[in-house]
Structure 1
Amino acid sequence: MLKTLAMIAMLAVAQAPGDPHLPAKVMDRDAPTLPAGLKGAVLIVSKTNGWRHFEHIPHSNVVLGEIAGTLGRKSFTTENAAVFNDRDLRHFAVVVLNSASGAFMTSGQQAALERFVARGGGVAALHAAGDDSHKEPWYDATIIGTTFIGHPGGDDHIQSAKVVVAQPQHPVMAGVPREWMLRDEWYSFSGNPAARGMTVLAQVDEASYRPGAKLAMGAAHPVMWVNSHAKGRVFYSALGHEPEAYDDPNVHRVLTNAIRWAAR
């Protein structure tokens, strides 16, 4: 009887679903088949080998595809990182890394993305595409320029806070108010990416929410910036944990501007 109960318990554990935030890590080897007619298109990649934001990814992928359409560009959405190869990337003007996390590219795939940016291709990296699961030196230096150190947890995990535009003349900030309130998960970083050559476009006002002593960055707490030195145009936004953020008119405007700007 005890042996039977033990076997039942083991089977129950084996069948118990894992944490959907932590899916199995998979390295893709076979590239997806692209639809015909892609030229100057928007590639939306939400590949997850780290923390998976399953709450927002389905909705935000749809919104990003709709934004591409309003810009007169076709889009292709995938979670297959093998799309990062020279042949396929030539169909796209910009790559959107939509909370793509973890080590989701092989060395060859990252090298293809590096060449894409080097020949002028754009990148818009969103939310978890800038978390601390990205360890590659090129990615760190070119896409992020700082290190994610955490966000408030517990009852303070999601808070309303004031976003303040720091570069209102930049094309990505066109039509965006100088200040607005947004409910989100607020990332903190080890330092200001401006110290490594990035141009900060917007900050979060720490007086408008509770970052916690260990996560406070002071008056300069960046949440959106661009790499002004890459040959291709590179944008990063820490915003976007909540699905509703992608329906916020100001976030939607920023994403539209960023994809247009990055795609030239």
Structure 2
Amino acid sequence: MPLALLLLLAFTAVLTPQANCQATSANAQAPRPWDQNPTGMHIYIWAGLKSHQPGQHDYPQFLADWSKLLTEHGAVVDGALHAPRAADLEHADVVIIYKGDAGYLIDEEKAALEAYIKRGGGLVSIHDSLCGPDPAYFATLVGGAKKHGEVNYTLGAPIPYTIVDAANPIMKGMSNITIFDEAFYNMTWAQNPSMHVLATAVIPGTPSAGAHKGEVVPQIWIYEHALPGGEPARAFVWMQGHEYANFSNYQIQQMLLRGIAWAGKKPVDTLVDYVPPQPSHTQSPAVNK
């Protein structure tokens, strides 16, 4: 056999395993974490950059903490500090929005969000996520919204809840607690259909509240609707979250877990009651490392 042919065959033999390995690596998917629920509901967290004082509006911390908490409760979680793109929403059951002024949407973001809702995707709006330049439009997505630039907030104050639909399963175990947070008023409400109120609060007499002191305003609600040409969709809204510590309140946390599951069209206790599987004797956390 000519020397040149021998050299060519040897060179090909060296390259072939490497090429096969590269092809396999390109086609293979990363292994799933050993304790993640493969059949869990898919949640996308749309968070924002930190704003306000320490301990307030900590959107990035929410993304970190609730990615972990929701995974521990059986969800498959993704998220970012930017609006979800169409690819982000492809498999999502529910989008949790916790960022300031989410109502400011560019055309591409608006189109992606509307397409997601039209296929029945759920929304969860927390605190000032429902603020923006066009509250009438954003109210059609989550049931109610407020306009940016108007004085429609109390700032920090005791917020006393009155549960008006204690029979709703989302409110199971929720009592008429008072938390230190912020409430909103001067809302624009969706019409035909309208939202369904779960809890209200009396607006406290803060300097910014002014003459609105004593008004009774919905602060927790659900909203079932369909965008034109779309499937039925759900939204769940909690208007507090100004003080980040309130996310650790047991009653609030259980309510949020149930509201998220409901918005994603899952049984309302899906996340609350999830029990992670115990690793088998032959499996250890290091298996997929």
User: Does the TM-score normalized on the shorter chain lie above 0.5?
Assistant: yes
State the shift of 1:259 in Å. Answer: 1.0
Q: What is the root-mean-square deviation of aligned Cα atoms in Å?
A: 2.8
2: CA distance between counterparts of 1:224 and 1:193?
14
Identity among equivalent positions (%) equals 19
State the shift of 1:130 in Å. Answer: 1.6
Q: Is the Cα–Cα contact under 8 Å of residues 145 and 196 in structure 1 kept in the other structure?
A: no
Paired residue secondary structure (2:211): coil
| Structure 2 partner of 1:163 | 161
| Structure 2 partner of 1:27 | none
2: CA distance between counterparts of 1:196 and 1:161?
27
Deviations 1:10-30 (A, max 9, x none): xxxxxxxxxxxxxxxxxxxxx
> Residues 185-264 of structure 1 correspond to what in structure 2 (within 5 A)?
185-190=182-187, 197-206=194-203, 209-211=204-206, 212-216=209-213, 218=215, 220-230=216-226, 231-263=232-264, 264=266
| Structure 1 partner of 2:96 | 96
State the shift of 1:45 in Å. Answer: 0.7
Q: Is the Cα–Cα contact under 8 Å of residues 135 and 145 in structure 2 kept in the other structure?
A: no
Residue type at the aligned position of 2:157: Q
Distance 1:99 1:80, change over 3 A: closer
Paired residue secondary structure (1:72): coil
1: CA distance between counterparts of 2:110 and 2:31?
24
State the shift of 1:64 in Å. Answer: 2.3
Deviations 1:161-190 (A, max 9, x none): 31111111223212212x011010122224
Deviations 1:122-160 (A, max 9, x none): 1001111122x24275423222424355223xxxx3122
Q: Is the Cα–Cα contact under 8 Å of residues 199 and 227 in structure 1 kept in the other structure?
A: yes
Residue type at the aligned position of 2:263: A
| Structure 2 partner of 1:122 | 122
Residue type at the aligned position of 2:99: S
Distance 1:66 1:189, change over 3 A: farther
State the shift of 1:80 in Å. Answer: 2.4
Paired residue secondary structure (1:221): strand
Q: Is the Cα–Cα contact under 8 Å of residues 160 and 182 in structure 1 kept in the other structure?
A: yes
2: CA distance between counterparts of 1:169 and 1:198?
16
> Residues 20-99 of structure 1 correspond to what in structure 2 (within 5 A)?
40-47=41-48, 52-53=51-52, 55=56, 56-81=58-83, 83-85=84-86, 87-99=87-99
Distance 1:215 1:66, change over 3 A: farther
Unaligned 5+ runs, structure 1? 1-34
State the shift of 1:253 in Å. Answer: 1.4
